[in-house]
Structure 1
């Protein structure tokens, strides 16, 4: 199974389970995201939604290039990118707090997924970054749009995107992307992070989430996400991208 879903005491944990592929997103994992989103909407018990990666090396390395490199045209790319962007929008607008428990590298689309979460709890040794530029494309699942919504100083957010480099946990904390950096066991870190939140009535959490969701609706967030997808799709079709991916796959 490429993912697991486990609920304990109101904490729903969605684990990407492709450690041999650095938990890269494929079509099956996209369906896993849909399953989790539906689970949350149909449950009265879920108070927190957590996403993490199996193993210790990677949270998520983004889209599985071995699978998606077969997409060549703008139209083909838009089909895949828009599908995941729709999923991430549904994830970002869930009525419960969402937490990216980042156990290892979160790069490319993995960084986009984490940015779409309300909180990012990052392992000390983890490195994260919007490295899409090294493949001659932009973020394509809405990650840049969410990054500019997360309250980072504009110049820091833009530099994070344009640099296309990985940042260590200290840098991620400094720029304001990491909510908390932890040492040791991830489950202990998660328990400590939500310790005080647990004492608050979940109706309060949902009310605050609704305030943010209303703001995003008024600011046409989904429309802006889909425009980001369109930009990435145009770049995806160009030879510069295909050449960059070929070089990456030959490493």
Structure 2
């Protein structure tokens, strides 16, 4: 199975389970995201939603290019990108705190997923980054829009995007992207992070989430996300992107 879902003591743990593919997102996992979102909305016992990756190498490497490289035209790309963009918007606007428990590399779309969460708890050894530029495209699931909403200094956020490089955990903490950095067992780190949150009535958490969601509605967040996705779709059709993907797939076959 490409994912596991476990609820314990109010914590819903969603684990991407494709370690051989560095927990890359495919169509099956997109459907899994939808199921998790539905579960949160229909189970009032959930107080925190946590996403992590199986293994210790990768949180998520973004979209599975072995599957999605078959998408060639702008229209084809927009179909896939907007589907995940809609899912991430629904994720970002859930009524409970969302936490990315980053056990390993979070790159490309994986970095976008983490940025759409309220908090990012990062392993000391992890490297994360918006590397989409190395494939001659921009963020395609709304990641840049969420990044600019997360309170990072504008130049720090912009540099993460335009450099298209990975950052180590210290750098991620310095620029304000990482909420905390941990060593050792990720589940222990999670429990330490939410220790005080647990003591607060969940209605308080939901009220604060509603304030954020109202702000985003007033600032047309979803429309801006979809415009970001449309821009990426145009670049997806370019010869530069096709060549970059070809080089990437050839390198990974060796």
> 5 Å matches for 1:15-164?
15-164=15-164
- Normalising by structure 2, we get a TM-score of 0.99
CA distance in 2, matches of 1:219, 1:137: 25
Q: Tell me which residue corresponds to 1:186.
A: 186
Give deviations 1:220-243, integer Å, cap 9, x for gaps: 000000000000000000000000
Secondary structure in structure 2 of the residue aligned to 1:120: strand
Return structure 1 stretches of 4+ with deviation > 2 angstroms.
none
Cα distance, 1:71 vs structure 2: 0.1
What is the root-mean-square deviation of aligned Cα atoms in Å? 0.2
CA distance in 1, matches of 2:32, 2:15: 10
Cα distance, 1:99 vs structure 2: 0.1
CA distance in 2, matches of 1:34, 1:4: 14
Secondary structure in structure 1 of the residue aligned to 2:190: helix
Cα distance, 1:165 vs structure 2: 0.1
Q: Tell me which residue corresponds to 1:239.
A: 239
Cα distance, 1:185 vs structure 2: 0.3
Cα distance, 1:76 vs structure 2: 0.1
Question: Aligned pair count?
Answer: 251
Secondary structure in structure 2 of the residue aligned to 1:250: helix
CA distance in 2, matches of 1:205, 1:244: 43
Cα distance, 1:117 vs structure 2: 0.1
Secondary structure in structure 2 of the residue aligned to 1:151: coil
CA distance in 2, matches of 1:156, 1:190: 26
Cα distance, 1:153 vs structure 2: 0.2
Cα distance, 1:28 vs structure 2: 0.1
Cα distance, 1:248 vs structure 2: 0.5
CA distance in 2, matches of 1:81, 1:177: 23
Cα distance, 1:247 vs structure 2: 0.2
CA distance in 2, matches of 1:57, 1:78: 29
Cα distance, 1:162 vs structure 2: 0.1
